[in-house]
Structure 1
Amino acid sequence: MEASDDDHLSLRDYKRISDLIGREVGIKLPPTKRLMVEGRLRKRVRALGLANLDAYGTYLFQHDGLAAELAFLINAVTTNKTDFFREPEHFDLLENRLVPDLIALRKAERKPLLKIWSAASSTGAEVYTLAMVLADLLAQRNDFRFAILGTDISTAVLAQGERAVYPAELIAPVPPGKQQRYLMFARKPGPRPEVRIVPELRRLVRFARLNLMDASYPFDRDVDVIFLRNVLIYFDKADQEKVILRLVSHLRPGGYLILGHSESMIGTAVTMRQVAPAVFQKA
């Protein structure tokens, strides 16, 4: 369906939506994002059987539709860019240095359980990349266990992560050996081939909804590694600091926080030792 040239949110309704998203999830939607937001919301307009975006604004703010629509609105406007083995240096570091060091810190324990948290997991590509790396390392060492948590604000991407089904073209960055061990391919692929993560890995992963802007997070406080990559760029400095402080409080001493290469903790009150680009260790 082609969008009409005059199918737009009013300036007032766009400001209301951008202010709401800023308050609820910390993501800033300046006026330059208006066309992008409108493009994404047109799917909701059609799903609700409304005439246009102006009617959608009326539904939200004059007909009390906001409470029922909030989760769909958040799903629509949040950006969920992710890839398997994105910024691969972090996974090499995890395998070759971080995990061995974490196991050494807990040498008194027999097969310590390593807890890894992908705090903005999107559709699960990062989660399952972690699972592949750790499963291979476990096969070599057999001296630890691991569990992975993936959280995100969007219920739509969490559902995809739980299904663990992906278009075949997305798994190109996965090394061939890992593809063979950890992916299931359809015997008769359809017009758009898909793959699924093997159940052995899916059992080691769980997904949960989390708004990083919440005042507290209902998860363990002895996490070994937290990945929060390419998310802070959407928050202002004050919210960045609050999110980092909350996440660091969930790390065990000696645990690691891994940010995206384009992000840093400069200007925050968080004091951690930097051990590699965008990788920080809690004292």
Structure 2
Amino acid sequence: MLAPDTLTGDIVLTDADFAAIVVMVRQQSGIVLGHSKRDLVYGRLRRRLRSLNIESFALYREMLDAEGGQAERVRMINAITTNLTGFFREPHHFEFLGKQVLAQLPRDRNRLRIWSAGCSSGEEPYSIAMTLCNAMPDLGTWDARILATDIDTDMIAHGASGRYSAERAAAIPAGFLARHARQRDATITEMGPQLRSLITFKPLNLLGPWPMTGSFDVIFCRNVVIYFDKDTQRSLFDRFADQLVLGGYLFVGHSESLFRVTERFEHLGRTIYRKVR
């Protein structure tokens, strides 16, 4: 039986518990959790403890630290990670991708690689795929692929399923929705086979090894680095630059900036950058 606490009405999260979890989350994911995130951590991990029938955060920490704790460490990161996304979020990015980036691709190369890093539940890579289909009538003649990665394995599974609530899918422009999706029933919208054939969903921790060997033309990494400290951001943007072709594009979130973080990109405005070195 779970032990009640007179202050929280539930399981107690001590200062020592919170500090230990903060360290583990940072080591595992690079995410920096300030004291303002304590209630978020408590609320999300309390659900994990209740589902596991564990009576205290101290016992939960023992599980995480145990030799076989890797699976639960993944579940912990999944629980804490904030997954705020939507179809065609920050629409100017997709407009620039379609009208500027894709329109200027050399047609004698026929290879295109785009990475959605921190793709959450998949709305971003599907939005990219729809943009490709709309902007490139000759897409069928291209070797075009979109890699969609996220540290949250639950979100990767969601994206790979290609199924979304009709309410979320309502953000897709009507023409794209009619062409690239179908209603399974009154509540579920399913992405079409052309979109799904373009995207590969894979779990990936941005702070760990990157198994990709080829270069990318475009990288989307939006609303991810805001959770990292400056040193981690510098390292990450340097790795992104290494992974991009010269002249390749990087799209970041509306509250993010590369100012005084890296000099390997030029700012094109509206959180769009191009690799220059």
Q: TM-score, normalised by structure 2?
A: 0.91
Is the 2:238–2:264 contact (alpha carbons within 8 Å) kept by the matching residues of 1? no
1:13 aligns with 2:6: no
Closer, same or farther: CA 149–267 of 1 in aligned 2, 3 Å: same
Matched-pair contact (CA < 8 Å) for 1:117–1:226: yes
Q: How many residues align?
A: 272
Secondary structure in 1 matching 2:259: coil
1:218 to 211, 221, 227: 211
2:76 pairs with 1:73? yes
1:86 pairs with one of 81, 86, 89: 89
User: Contact 1:138–1:145 at 8 Å: present in 2 too?
Assistant: no
Distance (whole Å) between structure 1 residues aligned to residue 150 and residue 263 of structure 2: 23
Equivalences for 1:187-206 in 2 at 5 Å?
188-189=185-186, 193-206=187-200
**In the aligned structure 1, how far is the partner of 2:188 from the partner of 2:158?**
13
What amino acid does structure 2 have at the position aligned with 1:274?
A: H
> Distance between the aligned counterparts of 2:141 and 2:266, measured in 1?
27
Verify: 1:207 aligned to 2:205, yes or no.
no
**Aligned twin of 2:52:** 48
Residue 136 of structure 1 is aligned with which of 117, 134, 143?
134
Distance 1:10 1:183, change over 3 A: same
Report the secondary structure of 2:247's partner residue.
Answer: strand
Mean Cα deviation higher: 238-247 or 216-225:
216-225
Kindly state the Cα deviation for residue 6 of structure 1 after the two structures are TM-superposed.
4.5
CA distance in 2, matches of 1:98, 1:205: 19
Matched residues in 1 for 2:59 and 2:258: separation? 42
In 1: Cα distance, 2:157 partner to 2:149 partner: 11
Select which of 37, 42, 48 maps to 1:38.
Answer: 42
Structure 1, unmatched stretches of 5+, are none
CA distance in 2, matches of 1:73, 1:142: 41
Which amino acid in 2 is paired with 1:164?
A: G
Return the letter of the residue paired with 1:152.
Answer: D
Match of 1:22 in 2: 26
Q: For residue 264 of structure 2, what is the amino acid of its counterpart? A: T
Q: Contact 1:114–1:144 at 8 Å: present in 2 too?
A: yes
The residue that corresponds to 1:252 in the other structure is: 245
| 1:151 corresponds to which of 146, 149, 152 | 149
Instruction: Select between 139-148 and 81-90 the one with higher mean Cα deviation.
Output: 139-148
1:7–1:54 Cα contact (<8 Å) kept = no
Q: Give the superposition deviation at 1:11.
A: 1.3
Per-residue Cα deviation, 1:152-189 (whole angstroms, up to 9, x for no partner): 11101000011011111111221111111111102x43
| Secondary structure in structure 2 of the residue aligned to 1:117 | strand
Code of the aligned partner of 1:12: A
RMSD of equivalent CA atoms:
2.2
Higher mean alpha-carbon deviation, 176-185 vs 264-273, is at 264-273
Change (3 A) 1:143 1:95: farther
Q: Give the conservation status (yes or no) of the 8 Å contact 1:25–1:212.
A: yes
1:230 aligns with 2:220: no
Distance in 1, matches of 2:68 and 2:214, equals 37
